[in-house]
Amino acid sequence: MLRLPAPWHVRQLDGDIAMSLFAISAVPDTGAGERWPDFDHRQLVATTQVKPPRYVDGSARSPMQA
């Protein structure tokens, strides 16, 4: 089993066809919204791809974070 060091970070990336890709990563988000292959997939712990229209906004705060 691959183990990546904590802490983990939420990152907003793009797939190869500009689909929103939200990831849990071993490195912080750069804010640049890197597009595949301009990020290192070996740093990712988990991902989900959100197809248009954009249903999720990763910058929105959860009610539990308020």
60 domain residue, yes or no: no
At 35, list the tokens: 């597009």
Position 4 scores a pLDDT of: 66
63 domain residue, yes or no: no
4 domain residue, yes or no: no
Q: Please state the rounded mean pLDDT for residues 15-42.
A: 83
Per-residue pLDDT tens digits for 35-60: 888 888 888 888 887 776 655 565 65
Q: Which domain holds residue 31?
A: 9-55
1 domain residue, yes or no: no
Model-level pTM?
A: 0.60
Residue predicted with more confidence, 65 or 7: 7
Position 52 scores a pLDDT of: 64
25 domain residue, yes or no: yes
62 domain residue, yes or no: no
- Return the residue matching tokens 């939200």: 22
Position 37 scores a pLDDT of: 82
2 domain residue, yes or no: no
User: How many domains does the chain divide into?
Assistant: 1
40 domain residue, yes or no: yes
